[in-house]
C-alpha cells in the first residue's frame, strides 16, 4: 500500500512541476505572473469529463454546496491542486522513522 501511495504521490508531484514550468514559461512570455487554472487544464485535456462531473455533482443531495466547492477548486492554479495531494500522498507512503536513542556514554 505504501508503494502505491508513493507512486501516485510522485506522479502528482511530477505533474505539478510540469504545470509550474508551463506557468513559468507563460509568465516569462507575458512579462507578468500568470497561472493556469485547473479548469483551463481540464478543458484542454477532456472537456466532456468536466461536464460529466458537473452533472454527477448536480444530482447529489448537497448539489449547490458541491457546485460551489467544485467551482472554487477549478479556479485554483493547477500546480497547487495537483501538488498538495501529491505531497500528502508521498509523505503518507514513506517508511516510518526508527527513533534511536543514545546513552550519555555513547555520545
In this predicted model, what pLDDT tens digit does every residue of 40-51 receive, in sequence order?
999 999 999 999
Query: Residue length, the chain?
Result: 107
Write down the pLDDT at residue 97. 76
Contact 19, 78 (CB under 8 A): yes
In this predicted model, what pLDDT tens digit does every residue of 14-28 receive, in sequence order?
999 999 999 999 999
Give the Cα separation of 59 and 67 in Å (integer). Answer: 10
pTM for the model stands at 0.79
Give the Cα separation of 23 and 26 in Å (integer). Answer: 5
Write down the pLDDT at residue 106. 66
Q: Distance between alpha carbon 85 and the CA centroid of its chain, in Å?
A: 5
In this predicted model, what pLDDT tens digit does every residue of 55-105 receive, in sequence order?
999 898 998 999 999 999 999 999 999 999 999 999 999 888 777 777 777
Amino acid at each position: 500500500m505504501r508503494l502505491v501511495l508513493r507512486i501516485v504521490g510522485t506522479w502528482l508531484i511530477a505533474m505539478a512541476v510540469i504545470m509550474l514550468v508551463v506557468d513559468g514559461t507563460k509568465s516569462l512570455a507575458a512579462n507578468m505572473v500568470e497561472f493556469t487554472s485547473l479548469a483551463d487544464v481540464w478543458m484542454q485535456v477532456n472537456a466532456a469529463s468536466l461536464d460529466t462531473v458537473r452533472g454527477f455533482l448536480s444530482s447529489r443531495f448537497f448539489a449547490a454546496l458541491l457546485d460551489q466547492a467544485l467551482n472554487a477548486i477549478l479556479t485554483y492554479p493547477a500546480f497547487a491542486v495537483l501538488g498538495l495531494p501529491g505531497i500528502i500522498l508521498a509523505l503518507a507512503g514513506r517508511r516510518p522513522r526508527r527513533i534511536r536513542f543514545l546513552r550519555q556514554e555513547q555520545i
